[in-house]
Amino acid sequence: MKMGLGTVQFGMDYGISNQTGQTALEEAKEILETARRSGISIIDTAASYGKSEEVLGLLLPKEHSFRITTKLPGLVPANGGDFDSEEVVRLMEGSLLRLKQRSVYALILHRADDLLTPYGEMIMRGLQKCKRMGFTEKIGVSIYAEDQIEELISRFPIDLIQAPVNLFDQRLIHNGFLKRCKQQGIEVHARSVFLQGLLCMEPLELPSYFLPYAAQINKFRSYISERGISPIGAALSFVNDIPEVDAFVCGVNRQEQLQQLVSLLRQPTKWLDYSQFAATDPAFLNPSQWKIS
């Protein structure tokens, strides 16, 4: 199964469509068990996801089949201060301690552009040291389409990228970047499959911020409704059918939600033309730019 489990909800209240807040500990345990039984192999977390790493450390058994990816926070010191590559190692050790793991599958930079600062080479040396020490199998970056991604993969030995890919955000498909990653042997993990839940919300429920994009959202909803497809089913089948995507992560708040996703993925799908819904405006596609509070 290409779908992995995102665990930001285990540690904090997250997502525009999230109405239940942070996932309770007992519910998180049930979600992990459902993921195991369903053949899900990837678990995605981060040091900045509240208590997510601690929750996983508490709930995961000593022996498990999951491949954990975690992310380091921004590493560039404020006001041009000093930085030591050993800081990367110390942060990695902190994540492993919270996760109660000897190693993870992938260690990812939450802010890819940190590598393009004067501290970039030192940060990369720290990442590579983590790899040599056996703390991680792969090192990578979390990117947005508007980042300087070509420079990143040409300058640095990146094993894995995590990038937003969904029905509205098809930029990395159309510009050929995902194909270039595949050609260079870089593993691709897609995130933001539901655009933080935006794809699944009823148009009338959307904050006023999204009014400029209402026509496009309504067009998408009409298209799938006429074909008897749910927004969740459409979003899943779209990313699951992209050959360059090795895995994609989806976060849930309840066990029943994960069971629904697994069930939808196991159903046969038919090819539909979703290219007509591709957008390019970062103010729409990048949740960090949303002004909805």
pLDDT tens for 209-228 read: 999 999 999 999 999 999 99
Which pLDDT score, from 0 to 100, does residue 16 have?
46
pLDDT along the chain (293 residues), means of 10: 95 58 92 97 96 96 94 84 89 97 97 93 96 98 92 96 97 96 96 92 88 92 93 95 97 95 90 92 93 81
Do residues 43 and 56 lie in contact, with contact meaning Cβ atoms separated by under 8 Å?
Answer: yes
Do residues 274 and 238 lie in contact, with contact meaning Cβ atoms separated by under 8 Å?
Answer: yes
Which pLDDT score, from 0 to 100, does residue 269 have?
77
Domain ranges of the chain: 3-289
Q: What pTM was estimated for this model as a whole?
A: 0.93
> Taking phi first (over 0 means left), then psi (-120 to 50 degrees means alpha), and beta for anything else, what does residue 50 get?
left
Which pLDDT score, from 0 to 100, does residue 20 have?
57
Given 3.20.20.100, 2.60.300.12, 3.40.50.12780, 3.40.1350.10, which CATH number is that of 3-289? 3.20.20.100
CA 292 – CA 186 distance, rounded (Å)? 35
pLDDT tens for 237-254 read: 999 999 999 999 999 999
H or E segment and range at residue 97: helix 86-99
Could you write out the DSSP letters of every residue in 217-271?
A: HHHHHHHHHHTT--HHHHHHHHHHT-TT--EEEEE-SSHHHHHHHHHHHTS----
